[in-house]
Structures are given as C-alpha cells and as structure tokens.
C-alpha cells in the first residue's frame, strides 16, 4: 500500500507488482511493473482514473480507505484490459454511486469482459469534458495504444495527461516521478517495442492529435510519472519516425558451432565496415532485449541451422514475434548451416509477411564454413554497407 501525491487533489493510489516477471505469459518484466490508478478530488466530485490488476485489488481498496474516500462519483476507464479495468466491479460494489465513464467501444468491451451492468455507464465522446467542480477532465480517443478502444484523460487545470498504456513502462519503483532517465528510457523502449510498435502508424496519429495540448506531466498506468514529459514525447517521436539506424540485429541459434562461426564472422565483417551489430543467441536471450533493438535497426539477419528441413524452432518463435511486432527494418536476410538440405530461407521469408523489407542475399553453408563461405559473408557485409549508405545512415 502506498499513496503518493502528484499535486493538490491528485493522488497515485494504484499498486506496485515488484516480483512480476512475465506479462501475457510472454513478455519478460525484469523490473516488475505497476498498475497505476489516480484519485482526483475536485471541489464537487471525485473521480478514480483506472483501477489495478485483480491480483492487486487489496492495494487499491486499502489506499482508498487510507485516504478516507467515502464516495466516488466517476471511475474513468481509459482501457478495457483487465490490468486496468479488472477491479471496476469491486469499486462499483463499494462505491455504489459511481458511474463508469468511458467511450462506447470500451463500454462494450467492459460489458463483455467484466459483466458490468449497462446502466452503470456514462458514455463520452472524443474531446468531451466532465466537471469535478474546480477540476475538469477531458477525454481524448487514442485508438490502438494499446487496444482499439483506448483513450487518454486530460486534467485541464493541472495539465496532466493520464495516458494509461500509452507512454508506459513496466518498471516498479518507490519513486513517483522519473529520476533515472537512462533506466526509464530503456524500460519505456522495451514497452514500446512489445506493446506499441505493431501499431506504429496509429501511434504517430495519436501523437499528432495530442501535439497542441499543454502537458506538464504524463501519468501513465505502468511505470513512473513523467514530470518532464519531453523525455518520453521525444523518445516516441524518434521510435515512431520512419528513420532507421546503421545497425544490424542478428537473432540466431547454433547447435554444433557452424552457425555460431558464421554469425561471428559476419559480426566482425560488419564491424570492420563501421556497422553496429547486435547479436542475440536465442537460447539465452530475453526477447524484450531483442525487441528493443529491432525498434530502429536498419537490417535484421536471421541465423539458424536447418533442423528437419526447416529453421530451428527457437528461430521460428523469434521470427514469428518479430513479424508480429512489425519493426521498421528495411532489409533482412538469412544465414546458417545445413547437413543435407531443406527450404529454410523460403520458410523464414514466408513468416515475415508483415515486414516491408528488401531481402538481401542469404548465405547458407554446408557444414562448417570454408574460404568460399567467408567470401560470401564478406559480400553480404558489403551489400548491407551499400544499402545502409543508400539510406545515408553512415554520414560523411
């Protein structure tokens, strides 16, 4: 239980989940996470913005008790996913006067997911306002950050944007405001890669929609509050832009050392050409680290041995994830080894349908690499260099 004050009448009343290590049974959380909920006390009405994951409902209810909250008029639901909406039924039970304030799409999802009665809702439209007396909430529809129904809530008098998943980070800290900007930047980039990147164009549209609003603080529902919002706003502009970096990401697996040798040779060859290389051995990789690096790399090179005529299953999993996350990489290819044959390149390329990449020359080696294979890898490095130069990534 911990209540933290953003400013007069605005409190953080959500929960920290320090020990959580996996989200959606998929995404590693090295720094835990938080489910932030915010209580706003106006001169006439009280609003709760979002709730918490049901696993942490006692934290929220105890925080409201500790603040001696006797009545809640409005529960703002920015997003229907249960890590934010899951305790709305308990809030309605404890505070029977409360109405759930959300948009039509979110209302339908909350009825489906949580069986909240229809007469409990107050439906709002884009840019609608709701007065709490001396404080005014404004609702802005921001679809696909993270689901189609997502919206953000703006507290006009205090210029605080309650953004729910948008601008979030899976990062648990006892400090309310961002202090360690380097650490938070990395957590937020990991979060962007895993949650927002598949909807990059939608995110750009939402950033554009918010650009004329005066924002002094961004209070997301995961991670810390940004009291210098330009940190995360500038980062989002960078991550969502069409520009890529002079980097090659190499997710790979090696079973008997041949693919390992091929990958290591290509790393050296690219490094000699002043290209930044980020290799990831998929057997030991935190896929969140891989996701961070594919946010802005120009090229992805997938390394795999052929196993039973196709790529190694760990490579299949990583390629499937990369395809789902839709990074803005411009080039891709496949390197690896085989014993007698298979159609690995076709299979991997077939799994990358969401990516708008130009395919470069694959390098497949029979057994352990020999001189001619090293020459092919040098040629591939030259090709990557030429492609990166064509995008003017190398400067000079």
H or E stretch including 346?
helix 344-350
User: Pseudo-torsion of CA 161, 4, 46, 214, nearest 10°?
Assistant: -20
* DSSP 8-state code for residue 133: S
Name every residue whose Cβ is closer than 8 Å to that of residue 385 and which is 6 or more positions away in sequence: 270, 273, 275, 394
Q: How far is the CB of 26 from ligand FEO (least distance, A)?
A: 13
Candidates 84, 189, 190, 328; binder of ligand FEO (CB under 6 A) is: 84
Q: Can residue 79 be called a binding residue for ligand FEO (CB under 6 A)?
A: yes
For ligand FEO, the closer CB: 190 or 273: 190
Give the integer Cα–Cα distance in Å for 90 and 277.
50
Give the integer Cα–Cα distance in Å for 393 and 247.
9
Q: Is 10 helix (H, G, I), strand (E, B) or coil?
A: strand
Give the integer Cα–Cα distance in Å for 229 and 233.
6
Q: Please identify which residue in the block is written with the tokens 């400090």.
A: 175
Considering CB under 6 A, how many residues would be counted as binding ligand FEO?
8
Q: How far is the CB of 320 from ligand FEO (least distance, A)?
A: 21
Q: Answer for the pair 20, 33: CB distance below 8 angstroms, yes or no.
A: yes
Of 76, 52, 79, which is closest to residue 63 (Cα–Cα)? Answer: 52
Give the integer Cα–Cα distance in Å for 76 and 41.
13
Give the integer Cα–Cα distance in Å for 38 and 40.
6
Q: DSSP labels for 241-289?
A: SS--EEEEEEEE--SSSHHHHHHHHHHHHHHHTT-EEEEEETTT--HHH
Candidates 73, 149, 165, 296; binder of ligand FEO (CB under 6 A) is: 165
Residue 272: burial class (beta carbons within 10 Å; 0-12, 13-18, 19+): exposed
Q: Which stretch binds ligand FEO (CB under 6 A): 80-88, 101-109, 186-194, 285-293?
A: 80-88
Candidates 31, 50, 73, 83; binder of ligand FEO (CB under 6 A) is: 83
Q: How far is the CB of 317 from ligand FEO (least distance, A)?
A: 22
Site string for ligand FEO, 106-145 (x = CB under 6 A): ----------------------------------------
Q: How far is the CB of 147 from ligand FEO (least distance, A)?
A: 6
Residue 321: burial class (beta carbons within 10 Å; 0-12, 13-18, 19+): middle
Q: How far is the CB of 152 from ligand FEO (least distance, A)?
A: 13
Candidates 59, 81, 149, 378; binder of ligand FEO (CB under 6 A) is: 81
For ligand FEO, the closer CB: 17 or 388: 17
Q: Which stretch binds ligand FEO (CB under 6 A): 62-70, 78-86, 114-122, 227-235?
A: 78-86
For ligand FEO, the closer CB: 168 or 279: 168
Q: How far is the CB of 32 from ligand FEO (least distance, A)?
A: 14
For ligand FEO, the closer CB: 221 or 347: 221
Site string for ligand FEO, 196-225 (x = CB under 6 A): -------------------------xx---
Q: How far is the CB of 244 from ligand FEO (least distance, A)?
A: 27
Q: Answer for the pair 5, 158: CB distance below 8 angstroms, yes or no.
A: no
Of 203, 180, 178, 174, which is closest to residue 325 (Cα–Cα)? Answer: 203
For ligand FEO, the closer CB: 59 or 165: 165
Give the integer Cα–Cα distance in Å for 154 and 201.
22
Q: Can residue 170 be called a binding residue for ligand FEO (CB under 6 A)?
A: no
Tokens of 285: 């990789």
For ligand FEO, the closer CB: 33 or 63: 33
Binding positions for ligand FEO, 327-356, rule CB under 6 A: none
Q: How far is the CB of 162 from ligand FEO (least distance, A)?
A: 13
Under the rule (CB under 6 A), what is the footprint of ligand FEO?
79, 81, 83-84, 146, 165, 221-222
């Amino acid at each position: 239980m911990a209540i933290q004050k953003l400013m007069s009448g605005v409190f953080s009343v959500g929960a920290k989940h320090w020990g959580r290590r996996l989200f959606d049974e998929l995404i590693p959380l090295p720094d835990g996470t938080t489910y932030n909920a915010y209580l706003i006390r106006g001169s006439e009405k009280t609003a709760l913005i979002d709730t918490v994951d049901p696993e942490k409902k006692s934290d929220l209810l105890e925080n409201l008790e500790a603040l001696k909250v006797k009545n809640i008029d409005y529960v703002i639901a920015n997003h229907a996913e249960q890590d934010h909406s899951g305790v709305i039924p308990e809030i309605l039970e404890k505070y029977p006067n409360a109405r759930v304030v959300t948009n039509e799409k979110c209302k339908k999802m909350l009825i489906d997911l949580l069986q909240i009665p229809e007469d409990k809702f107050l439906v709002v439209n884009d840019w609608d306002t709701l007065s709490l007396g001396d404080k005014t909430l404004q609702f802005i529809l921001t679809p696909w950050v993270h689901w189609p129904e997502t919206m953000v809530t703006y507290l006009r008098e205090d210029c605080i944007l309650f953004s729910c998943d948008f601008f979030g980070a899976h990062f648990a800290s006892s400090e309310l405001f961002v202090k360690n900007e380097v650490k938070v930047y990395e957590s937020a980039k990991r979060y962007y890669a895993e949650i927002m990147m598949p909807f990059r164009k939608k995110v750009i549209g939402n950033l554009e929609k918010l650009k004329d609003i005066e924002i002094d603080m961004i209070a997301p529902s995961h991670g810390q509050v940004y009291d210098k919002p330009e940190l995360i706003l500038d980062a989002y502009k960078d991550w969502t832009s069409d520009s890529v970096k002079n980097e090659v990401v190499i997710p790979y697996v090696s079973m008997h050392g041949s693919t390992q040798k091929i990958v290591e040779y290509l790393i050296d060859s690219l490094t000699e050409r002043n290209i930044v290389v980020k290799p990831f051995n998929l057997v030991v990789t935190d896929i969140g680290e891989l996701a961070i690096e594919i946010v802005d790399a120009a090229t992805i090179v997938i390394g795999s041995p052929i196993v039973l005529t196709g790529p190694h299953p760990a490579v299949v999993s990583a390629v499937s994830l990369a395809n789902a996350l839709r990074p803005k990489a411009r080039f891709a290819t496949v390197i690896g080894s085989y014993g007698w044959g298979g159609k690995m390149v076709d299979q991997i390329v077939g799994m990358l349908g969401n990516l708008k990449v130009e395919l470069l020359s694959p390098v497949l080696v029979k057994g352990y690499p020999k001189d001619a294979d090293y020459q092919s890898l040098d040629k591939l490095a030259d090709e990557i260099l030429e492609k990166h130069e064509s995008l003017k990534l190398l400067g000079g």
